[in-house]
Amino acid sequence: MGFFSSSKSTSNLDWTDLSTLDQWSTAWKDESNRVYCVFKHSTRCGISSMALKGFERGWNQELEVETMLLDLLNHRDISARIAEDTGVMHQSPQCIVFQAGKIIYTATHHSIDAAEINNLLSA
C-alpha cells in the first residue's frame, strides 16, 4: 500500500462512493432539481490527493448537493461513461457539477475550487 492508496476520504464530507454505472446513469438522468458533484480521484496521485483535500476544506456542507467520489483506479469504465455522456474530456483529478443532465461547473487539477462552486450554487 502506497501513501496515496486509500480511496476513502478522512473528511467529514458525506461522500457517496460512485462505484457502478447504474449509479452514474441514475444521477445523470435525474430530472429533479437535485444537484450532483462528481470528484474523479486517482488514489495514487499526489496532485489528486492535494486537490481532494483542498476541495473538502473549502466545501460548504450546508449545500444540498449529492457529492460522489469516483476512484479512478477501480472504476475507469465509469469515468469513460461520464466523459461520453457529458462531453467533458476525462482528466484526473476532475470535478463535475451537474443538474438534470446539464453541466454547471467543471474543472481539473489545481483549478478545482470548492468556493467557486459554493458561490455558483448559493446564488
Q: How far apart are CA 6 and CA 60, in angstroms?
A: 24
- Tell me, what's the pLDDT at 91? 92
> Domain 37-122 is classified in which CATH homologous superfamily?
Glutaredoxin (3.40.30.10)
Average pLDDT, the chain: 91
Question: Rounded mean pLDDT of 107-118?
Answer: 96
pLDDT digit string, tens, across residues 79-104: 999 999 999 999 999 999 999 999 99
What is the pTM for the complete model shown?
Answer: 0.89
Instruction: List the domain boundaries for the chain.
Output: 37-122
- Tell me, what's the pLDDT at 49? 95
Catalogue the long-range contacts made by 29-34 (C-beta closer than 8 Å, 24 or more residues apart): 29/101, 30/100, 30/101, 31/100, 31/101, 32/100, 33/99, 33/100, 34/64, 34/66, 34/99
Reply yes or no on whether the pLDDT at 23 is more than 80. yes
- Tell me, what's the pLDDT at 10? 53
Give me the count of residues in the chain. Answer: 123
Give φ, ψ of 50 to 5 degrees: -65, -45
Per the listing, cell 449545500 goes with 63
